């Protein structure tokens, strides 16, 4: 049985169904399981970072350290050493600022 309460918010009457009105996250964070290759060795996680920008940056200014550290802190990747990950970084030019975004893919 769902609980329903009527309450006043800013002078207006609202019904509360007891369900959370918190927005759901657009992110799906899950640790990546490490797979073994044919020789029984653990494969490194591949991280692809694609930056879509109106004005491309110099390669040394597209700093991905913070993104990779965040993936490690969230336990999406085990560690950020070269033994554990392969990192691929690229930039793509877009026409408008609305199209600007950073895409992070982990395999």
What's the pLDDT score for residue 63?
Answer: 82
Mention every residue, 6+ apart, whose C-beta is less than 8 A from residue 22. Answer: none
Residue 36: the pLDDT is 61
Q: pLDDT band for position 3 (50/70/90)?
A: very low
Cα 66 to Cα 1, 12, 73: the distances in Å are 46, 45, 10
pLDDT tens figures, 7-35: 444 445 444 445 555 655 545 555 555 55
> pLDDT tens, 35-94?
566 655 567 889 999 999 999 998 778 888 999 999 999 999 999 998 999 999 999 999
d(CA 105, CA 85): 12
The gap between the terminal CA atoms of the chain, to the nearest Å, is: 42
């Amino acid at each position: 049985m769902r609980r329903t309460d009527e309450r006043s918010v800013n002078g207006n009457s609202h019904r509360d169904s007891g369900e959370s009105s918190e927005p759901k996250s657009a992110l799906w964070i899950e640790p990546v399981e490490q797979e073994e290759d044919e020789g029984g060795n653990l494969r490194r996680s591949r991280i692809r970072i694609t930056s879509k920008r109106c004005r491309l940056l110099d390669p040394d200014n597209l700093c991905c350290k913070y993104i990779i550290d965040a993936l490690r802190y969230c336990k999406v990747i085990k560690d950020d050493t070269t033994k554990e990950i392969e990192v691929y970084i690229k930039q793509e030019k877009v026409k408008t600022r609305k199209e600007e975004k950073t895409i992070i893919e982990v395999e």
